Structure 1
């Protein structure tokens, strides 16, 4: 299964402290490059003005001074010049969104996660500072709230209370260097767009198609896995969660190859996983073990549907359709693999487990160990076959099973329609009737062949075409 890109966004209540942390060689063990599009004065002024506006608003919580993206890079990027990589990725963001940035390129402590920290401002500088001069004395209480009279900030002795402020007539009482925050940075659409932009940029420097990344499609039959961060105390829990998700994804691949419609798998994913997990969270809160149980039961439910599905290979059409024959050959390969998987799941493993259950007694220890080892090896073989299922298709450029099946079903429909049209034409000619004007000659195989090639290219390059369309839309 193709690797997905990883980009995470976080809010920064202390932008100056965060900049210092990510760009300091003293604080970062594996820091390779840093880059700024604005100097320290910009970030100092940004922090001050953000805090001032936050205080004036009277809002509870923390003031968000800026935001940060963490962009994971494939390991092949360690062979590129770090400074060039960082500057290209940072300049891309500044060009796309027109805001100032600070960035750093790191490895984690174990050097397993090569990534960029990109801090960006949600505000742009005003063309000219907006400075307000007091036409009379202005008074602020301890909370920073403006009050009408001096009496409201004095104590019983007539002295100004500690923490209160007086702005005299003619002095600056308020100044703005920045525009208001750009609200788009708060939206899910922004992070989705950023993932598309950076996935396309990452892939532009990777020549091997198998190493290229893709953005996870929430509307696919698959479940996303979670990235395990540095020193995460829940690493074991996340790993177990990812294992459950990967088992569902493998089963979804098997279901697609078995001829089960994508819409049916999506329905099971929604009702048996999303709906039940949502109900569980509402009733019990987030319980990881319960979620894994829900995913496991959904996988078993889908496996039961696979067992009920008859999937005989369709006969090869006796036509001059090389592209479709290639697809049929691929279909036969994945169906053969699926048949081997089902045999292990439904016959081999159940028989071994039954034998193990029946092998009891104190003198059966060696037999039990041998059976346990055989079961373990068979389970490993099963996992390997499931993992290799999408790999069968990768050599022909299909990113995953879902993309191949979608293309195959469309191609199959085109061939069926072609055969129907041809049969009708032949029957008309056989009966000695004059064919309809549009049927003076049989349907042309060349046009069908071209349509098949078009379908294949659409499937193999779907992610690139989506990104290209979005980019063109933005350029307009």
Structure 2
């Protein structure tokens, strides 16, 4: 399967502290570049006004002063100038959304994760400060909530209680430097849009189509895997969870190559994984082992459908369709790989396990050990062949099995329609019409069909890399 981009958004209850942390060379071992569109005064004013509004609202929880994006970059980006990369990505966000930003470019401690931190404001500066002058005395209690009368903040001793505030007539009781928060920044469509924007921007500087990234499609047949962060206490649990998800994804590839409809796989994914996992969480809370068992049962159901499905390739059309025949040969090659995997899964492995179960006795230790090693080797061979299945199709530019099967079915439909059109033309010309009528009844041009096939392929293949916007970003081009 193709590599997916990783772009994550989080809320910041202490924006000044976070900015200090990501931009400090003393606190970051591998800090390569920083970039600011707004100065420290802007972020101080933003934090103060956000806290004041939050206090006045009486809302429980933490005040969110700003938001942060973490954008993972492929390792190929380490050969580009860090400052130019950071400015390019930050200015892209500023240009599109018009809010202030501060950013930093890091490596993690082990230098395995090259990434950008991009902090942005959800508010914009007002053209002029909005200052409110008290036309009469204004009273606030200890929580910052406005009350109607002085009596409400007066203690039994007749004095204003500690923590309460009185704003006298003619004084400023409220001022705003910023607009209200823009709700779009906390919406799912916004995050999806940002992922698309930055994935495209990353791919502009990756020449090899096979190395380009794509945004994970939650409506695909695949399950997403999770990123394991630095010093994550649940690293082992996430790793086991990812392994279960990858097993499902491999089985989905096998199902597609076996001829099982994409809609059927999506139906199993929805009913056997999503719905059952949701029900389990409602009843018992999040139980990682239970979730993995849900995925395992769904995978077994999909495997049973694969066993029932016949996989012979359709006869090759006797037509001058070079594009279609090449795809068909690729299909046969992939199906042969899938057939070999099924032989190992359904024939070789069960026989070895049965032999191991029957090998009993005090003096059979060596035989049991040899059989156990054969079983482990066979399981490794199955896993390796499953991982290689998508690579067969990448040779022709397809990011994964799902994209290939979509293309193949569309092309097959075009070829069949062409055959029907040609048969109809032959039926009409058998009546020996006039020369003018013959000209009107010319058969469909093969070249136009081939053009249509190429259009379908281009739509489902990975997009070709776009021209770099900044030549100076690539050191090798200098």
TM-score tier, shorter chain, comes to over 0.9
Tell me if the contact between 1:31 and 1:105 (Cα under 8 Å) persists in the aligned partners.
yes
How far 1:80 sits from its partner (Å)? 1.4
TM alignment of 1:259-298, pairs within 5 A: 259-298=259-298
How far 1:306 sits from its partner (Å)? 0.6
How far 1:449 sits from its partner (Å)? 0.9
How far 1:463 sits from its partner (Å)? 9.7
Tell me if the contact between 2:204 and 2:465 (Cα under 8 Å) persists in the aligned partners.
no
Residues 165-174 or 61-70, more deviating: 165-174
Matched with 2:196 is 196
State yes or no: 1:401 paired with 2:401: yes
How far 1:405 sits from its partner (Å)? 0.5
Give the distance between the partners of 1:366 and 1:324, measured in 2 at CA: 53
Matched with 1:470 is none
Unaligned runs of 5+ in 1: 466-476
Instruction: Report the CA distance shift for 1:276/1:250 in structure 2 as closer, same or farther (over 3 A).
Output: same
Matched with 2:380 is 380
Tell me if the contact between 1:106 and 1:116 (Cα under 8 Å) persists in the aligned partners.
yes
Instruction: Report the CA distance shift for 1:272/1:463 in structure 2 as closer, same or farther (over 3 A).
Output: farther
Give the distance between the partners of 2:344 and 2:290, measured in 1 at CA: 27
- After superposition, the C-alpha distances for 1:239-264 in whole angstroms (9 at most, x for unaligned) are 00000100110111111111111111
TM-score of the two chains, using structure 1 as the length reference: 0.94
Tell me if the contact between 1:393 and 1:404 (Cα under 8 Å) persists in the aligned partners.
yes
Matched with 1:308 is 308
Unaligned runs of 5+ in 2: 467-478
Tell me if the contact between 1:122 and 1:185 (Cα under 8 Å) persists in the aligned partners.
yes
| Larger relative contact order (Cα-Cα within 8 Å, sequence gap ≥ 6) | 2
Matched with 2:472 is none
Q: 3-state SS of the aligned residue for 2:312?
A: coil
- After superposition, the C-alpha distances for 1:353-410 in whole angstroms (9 at most, x for unaligned) are 1111111112111111111111111111111111111101112111111111101001
Q: 3-state SS of the aligned residue for 2:34?
A: strand
Q: 3-state SS of the aligned residue for 1:105?
A: strand
State yes or no: 1:444 paired with 2:425: no
Residues 24-33 or 223-232, more deviating: 24-33
Matched with 2:123 is 123
Instruction: Report the CA distance shift for 1:359/1:401 in structure 2 as closer, same or farther (over 3 A).
Output: same
Tell me if the contact between 1:407 and 1:456 (Cα under 8 Å) persists in the aligned partners.
yes
Give the distance between the partners of 2:174 and 2:10, measured in 1 at CA: 30
Instruction: Report the CA distance shift for 1:185/1:236 in structure 2 as closer, same or farther (over 3 A).
Output: same
How far 1:436 sits from its partner (Å)? 8.3
How far 1:430 sits from its partner (Å)? 4.0
Give the distance between the partners of 1:374 and 1:436, measured in 2 at CA: 71
Tell me if the contact between 1:214 and 1:463 (Cα under 8 Å) persists in the aligned partners.
no
Tell me if the contact between 2:22 and 2:104 (Cα under 8 Å) persists in the aligned partners.
yes
How far 1:421 sits from its partner (Å)? 2.0
How far 1:462 sits from its partner (Å)? 6.0
Matched with 1:419 is 419
State yes or no: 1:176 paired with 2:172: no
Q: 3-state SS of the aligned residue for 1:389?
A: helix
Matched with 1:140 is 140
Q: 3-state SS of the aligned residue for 2:174?
A: strand
Matched with 2:469 is none
Residue correspondences, number = 465
State yes or no: 1:87 paired with 2:87: yes
Q: 3-state SS of the aligned residue for 2:214?
A: coil
State yes or no: 1:17 paired with 2:17: yes
State yes or no: 1:35 paired with 2:41: no
Matched with 2:470 is none
State yes or no: 1:231 paired with 2:231: yes
TM alignment of 1:208-227, pairs within 5 A: 208-227=208-227
How far 1:109 sits from its partner (Å)? 1.7
How far 1:425 sits from its partner (Å)? 2.6
TM-score of the two chains, using structure 2 as the length reference: 0.94
Give the distance between the partners of 1:248 and 1:333, measured in 2 at CA: 22
How far 1:439 sits from its partner (Å)? 6.8
Give the distance between the partners of 1:4 and 1:316, measured in 2 at CA: 35
Tell me if the contact between 1:200 and 1:464 (Cα under 8 Å) persists in the aligned partners.
no
Matched with 1:473 is none
